[in-house]
Amino acid sequence: MQKKSGKKAGIEKTPAVKIKINGTWHEFEQGRDIEPETTLSFLLREKLGYTGLKVSCDEGACGACTVLMDGKAVLSCMKLAVQAHGHEIVTIEGLPAGDPVIRAFADQCEPGYGTALQCGFCTPGFVMATKGLLNENRAFPGISAAAAVIPA
């Protein structure tokens, strides 16, 4: 007697992709919500609406798409969404309003500093890359975000 498994013969259901994004767990079904080739940047920006994340070169050269994965800076255009399964992702929208790195970058746009950030399109990626650098470089525990961003 054949055992009933509830699955059609020869068809395996792909496990759901679970990602914690900006503090909230999301579950995605492959083939319905995402495809195996869906990039993390596409998922975050186009499917979930995190438009602070920018995609410019789409080949990992510019850094505009940088997000934090488990606290480390990653280029979301070079990561597949399925590779983020079980990980925590933070986008620029997930940082607190008073984040010192955001403040340090914003201060660079104040009168007297010039326009070091130009149009600002890539700034979210710069902020996230700096957050990742500060997260990884704990050798200087007393350094402030402003000191890390603003040259002496």
Distance CA 114, CA 151 (A): 14
Q: Would you say residue 12 lies in a domain?
A: no
Q: Would you say residue 11 lies in a domain?
A: no
State the residue range of the domain holding 127: 17-149
Q: Would you say residue 5 lies in a domain?
A: no
Q: Would you say residue 110 lies in a domain?
A: yes
Distance CA 66, CA 129 (A): 6
Beta bridge partners of 116: none
pLDDT tens digits, one per residue of 114-151? 555 667 788 899 999 999 988 887 666 666 655 665 55
Query: What's the total number of domains in the chain?
Result: 1
pLDDT per residue, tens digit, the chain (152 aa), is 444 444 555 566 778 999 999 999 999 999 999 999 999 999 999 999 999 999 998 888 889 999 999 999 999 999 999 999 999 999 999 999 889 888 888 877 766 555 556 677 888 999 999 999 888 876 666 666 556 655 55
Q: Would you say residue 47 lies in a domain?
A: yes
Give the CATH number for residue 136.
3.10.20.30
Q: Would you say residue 10 lies in a domain?
A: no
Residues 6+ apart with CB under 8 A from 29: 14, 16, 17
